[in-house]
Amino acid sequence: MSKLSVEAKVGFFVVIGILLLGYMSMKVGKFSFKRGSGQDISVFFDSASGLSKDVPVEIAGVEVGRVRKISLKNGKALVTLRINPDIKLRKDVKAAMRTRGILGDKYVELIPGSLAAPLIKAGEQIVQAAPVTDMNTLMNILGEVAMNVKKLTKSLANVFAGEKGEASLRSIMDNTNEMVEALNRTVQANNKDFSAIIANFTSFSERLKDIGDANSDDIRDIVANMRAASQRMESLVAGINDITAKINEGKGSIGKLVNDKETIDSLNRSLAALQNITDKINRGEGTIGKLINDEETVDNMNFALAGINDYIKKQDTFRTYFDYRGEYLFDSEETKSYVSLRIQPREDKYYLLQVIDDPRGRETVKDTTRTIDGVTTTEHKVKVDRDELKFSAQIAKRYYDLGLRGGIFESTGGVGIDYYFFKDRLTLSLEAFDFDPDRNAHLKFKADFKPVNHIYISSGFDDFISDEGRESFFIGAGISFADEDIKTFLSDIPIPMN
């Protein structure tokens, strides 16, 4: 710090201050930037009491704007709302004033209309929604109720209270009294008439008796008819009785159906059979029973599921890697390149296909044996083609940290051994190939170190027991990456059966 110039210190200090200020401003000034733009719409409220400028306008609790202006027009409150430009409102949107929190903060709630309505344009007017029962309206309604009750009691009081009311009440009582008395008097005065009425009734009943006496035969006929009818009714009821008795006894098809023991037995039997079947299933007898009860089924199912699981896992562990490495050979001062495709169906094994561009070229040894005039001459011809590529095809198997490889190494047969350290970050390898009786085998030792994923550096000693002076120290580097695309078509293989 002490090395820093004054300018740097002050500059650093000021920058920190500005950054902190910027951060705090962004935090608390979240809405102040938005205030500038947006569309204005207006709404008439019966009362804008408690509403103030800049209070939020919300839809479903989300702030979409602010109240911009409150003014008075035609005795109503004209409230102008500024809605954020990214909010699309329909024409039938409604506005309502709401209250929030214990302190009763007012805000404006917009109630969106149907989606079919056209979009609203800036400057248009919307309507006030039917007021909801918030605390305020409840109070208003209660107030009105109280007013009505008050009016009622007031008029009652007007009627009854005071001397006038008392007087009229008294006169009502007096009137009632008078009426009862008059009634009494009427009854007493008309006592005679009542007696006459009763006498009339008496004579009327006497005359009725006379009529009865005169038509007594007719009446007797009627009674006889009635009796006959009732007798017929009796026989009808007896018939019905008979039918039900028959059903009870089990006669007729209905009777059989209802009364026959056989029916019930067969029903019982079929139920028993059903019981039997379920018992069997329960006990594990029969195909279904086996299917349901046999442990083996479950095992098989489990096994099948395990197989599917295994397959999926295999799919998962299946990897293909592309790899390029270059090795700089200090001896020949040239670079040897390897391009490889590593197919790794499982963690512990892989197949390696490699194309190698060796600056030393590919050697082909040709022994031609010729027999001319009984003399056999053998021509030993070594051809070096520097443009020819070499190939490797190897299989590798891994046991914990030890890997074994075998196959074609640089177009000749060979074996290799790998040892992995530090979670595979460091690999030591020894390869032996090109076993030729005429010369020493090609031995190669290398150490690959992978400091980050996909990239590794390499160093080693190539052909270090060569008797042809080819031993060379090398350093190299490479990139290696997993290829998901190749995996998908390579792994579409039949399920391996265990």
Partner 1 sequence: MIRIFESAGRPFVAFVEEFGRILLLLISATAWLFRPPFRFRVVLKQMEFVGVKSITVVLITGAFTGMVLALQTYHGFRMFGGEGLVGSTLTLAITRELGPVFTALMVTGRAGSAMAAEIGTMKVTEQIDALYTMSVSPVQFLIMPRIVAGILMLPVLTVISDFIGIVGGYFVGVKLLNINSGIFMARIVEIVDLDDIFNGLIKSACFGLILALVGCYKGFYTTGGAEGVGKATTQSVVYASVAILISDYFLTSVMFR
Catalog residues that contact partner 1 under the rule CB under 8 A: 6-7, 9-10, 12-14, 16-18, 20-21, 23-25, 27-30, 32
**Residue owning tokens 């409230």:** 79
Q: Is the Cβ of residue 4 or residue 222 nearer to partner 1 in the bound state?
A: 4
Comparing CA positions, the residue from 352, 355, 354, 356 lying closest to residue 329 is: 356
Minimum distance from residue 37 beta carbon to partner 1 (Å):
17
Minimum distance from residue 35 beta carbon to partner 1 (Å):
11
The answer to whether 127 and 43 are in contact (CB under 8 A) is yes
Report helix angle 191-214 to 216-249, nearest 10.
70
In this structure, what is the dihedral angle of CA atoms 92, 95, 100, 103, given to the nearest 10 degrees?
180
Minimum distance from residue 320 beta carbon to partner 1 (Å):
47
Helix (H) or strand (E) holding 79: strand 76-83
Q: Is the Cβ of residue 12 or residue 435 nearer to partner 1 in the bound state?
A: 12
Exposure of 170 in the CB half-sphere (CA atoms within 13 A): 7
The answer to whether 103 and 53 are in contact (CB under 8 A) is no
Q: Is the Cβ of residue 66 or residue 444 nearer to partner 1 in the bound state?
A: 66
Q: Is the Cβ of residue 14 or residue 291 nearer to partner 1 in the bound state?
A: 14
Q: Is the Cβ of residue 65 or residue 478 nearer to partner 1 in the bound state?
A: 65
Distance CA 424, CA 299 (A): 38
Minimum distance from residue 10 beta carbon to partner 1 (Å):
5
β partners of residue 392: 354
Q: Is the Cβ of residue 23 or residue 481 nearer to partner 1 in the bound state?
A: 23
Minimum distance from residue 57 beta carbon to partner 1 (Å):
16
Kindly list the distances between the CA atom of residue 482 and the CA atoms of 108, 301, 340, 358, in Å, as whole numbers in the listed order.
58, 35, 12, 25
Minimum distance from residue 292 beta carbon to partner 1 (Å):
54
**Residue owning tokens 């004209």:** 78
Comparing CA positions, the residue from 439, 444, 442, 431 lying closest to residue 365 is: 439
Distance CA 368, CA 366 (A): 6
Q: Is the Cβ of residue 20 or residue 312 nearer to partner 1 in the bound state?
A: 20
Q: Is the Cβ of residue 99 or residue 128 nearer to partner 1 in the bound state?
A: 99
SS3 of 227-254: the string is HHHHHHHHHHHHHHHHHHHHHHHCCHHH
Degrees to nearest 5, angle at CA 391 with 435 and 413: 25
Largest CA distance in the chain: 185
The answer to whether 384 and 332 are in contact (CB under 8 A) is no
Q: Exposed, middle or buried by CB within 10 Å (0-12, 13-18, 19+), for 57?
A: buried
Distance CA 444, CA 435 (A): 13
Q: Is the Cβ of residue 55 or residue 77 nearer to partner 1 in the bound state?
A: 55
Q: Is the Cβ of residue 4 or residue 219 nearer to partner 1 in the bound state?
A: 4
Comparing CA positions, the residue from 385, 341, 358 lying closest to residue 442 is: 358
